[in-house]
Amino acid sequence: MNAPVEVLDGSANSRVGIVDCDIHPYPKPGALNAYLSERWRNHLATYGKFNTGAYADRGTYPRFSPNTSRRDAWPPGGGLPGSDVGFIRDQLLDPYNIAYGVLEPLLGGNTSRNLDEAATLCGAINDWQAHEFVDPEPRLRASILVPADDPDASITEIEKRAGDWRFAQIQLGSKTSEPLGRRRYWPIFAAAQANNLSIGLHIGGTQSSAPSASGWPQFYIEDHHGLVHSMQNQAASLILEGVFDAFPGLRVVLIEGGFAWAPQLAWRLDSHWAKMRDEAPLKRKPSEYMKTNLWFATQPVEEPERPDDLRQVFEWIGWDRMVYSSDYPHWDFDDPHLAFKFQLTEDEKRMLYRDNALSVYTFE
């Protein structure tokens, strides 16, 4: 293994831990039952989860690789990758000197068509994260999963968890019933701002229609790349529909959707808005909101032929807008030793690996 990434404290020049903003936990068989009432255990056993996807109780089309995970991430004691806290500690937290790791559960609890079921599953998943991951390993921090199509239930869940040190953010998906800028979702943003919680916008979510504008793709690589476009759509919606004018303190982290597209999107939106600003009467140019209200997680980091081209992307976005993420235990995990092919200064390392995340997330 390579030497640990050296992130130095500016004053004492001592090595400190890094923050990983994208770790995926998975349950051991039956683990969620402990956090469900008898009524809902019976409901799920009888009816299953009423997914918004094209298929029930399976991955979307095309099929994912087994649990989308690295082959070496399966715990030696059994269970799914990401289900064994001790193995996460041994394989990720300790060897990579992770000070904090933000959990991003991808269990579909927020995607049920049955809104009562969605709210119940979100609550159970939140309890499960807190009790089975954060309590035994405080370096891990949970995300508040909410049923976005039910703002009232979402607010109830947010207020239940706000102030609990075990929760670092509110988690939403990039695929939603409508673009997130629509006012049906604004109560969630109001609750986030009021409780000083950031929004972690992770790729995925509801699948009520074909994943691309031109229909169903044939290959996994097409479907996988299409996730990037869902993130661009949400960034444009949040900006153009006035979310950040209404909630200027709102912090949104775009997770696992890439980031090299950000300059191009900003330039195009600025150009279009200059000609059509009467339709979207924002207080500032679209690009300015990208530099005050949006942060970008690095995984999957783009890999241009000339590594310094990526440095230019970082510099346009701003070194203070980037946070490191690994996507553990998935197959496209980004090792902090190897993800960036250009040399980083000590200031850039501190911002990327630690300081930016500490300013965005609620860890205390």
Q: Phi, psi (5° rounding) for residue 273?
A: -65, -35
Question: Which tokens hold the place of 101?
Answer: 């790791």
Strands 252-255 and 140-145: unpaired
Query: pLDDT band for position 52 (50/70/90)?
Result: low
Strands 140-145 and 98-103: parallel
The pLDDT of residue 58 is 47
Lowest mean pLDDT among 4-13, 42-51, 77-86, 298-307: 4-13
**In this structure, are residues 326 and 335 in contact, taking their beta carbons and an 8 Å threshold?**
yes
Cα–Cα distance between 261 and 317 in angstroms, integer? 10
The pLDDT of residue 3 is 47
The pLDDT of residue 55 is 44
C-alpha radius of gyration, the chain, whole number: 20
Residue predicted with more confidence, 181 or 63? 181
Quick: pLDDT tens for 108-162. Answer: 888 888 999 999 999 999 999 999 999 999 999 999 999 999 999 999 999 999 9
Quick: pLDDT tens for 269-316. Answer: 999 999 999 999 999 999 999 999 999 999 999 999 999 999 999 999
Kind and range of the H or E element at 18? strand 18-23
Q: Looking at residues 336-355, what average pLDDT do you find?
A: 94
| Domain formed by 18-360, architecture | Alpha-Beta Barrel (3.20)
Q: Running DSSP on this structure, what letter comes out for residue 15?
A: B
Q: Looking at residues 48-58, what average pLDDT do you find?
A: 58
Q: Domain residues of the chain, as ranges?
A: 18-360
User: How many other CB atoms are there within 10 angstroms of residue 67's CB atom?
Assistant: 19
Cα–Cα distance between 173 and 201 in angstroms, integer? 5
CA torsion sign for 50, 55, 57, 60 is: negative
**In this structure, are residues 283 and 316 in contact, taking their beta carbons and an 8 Å threshold?**
no
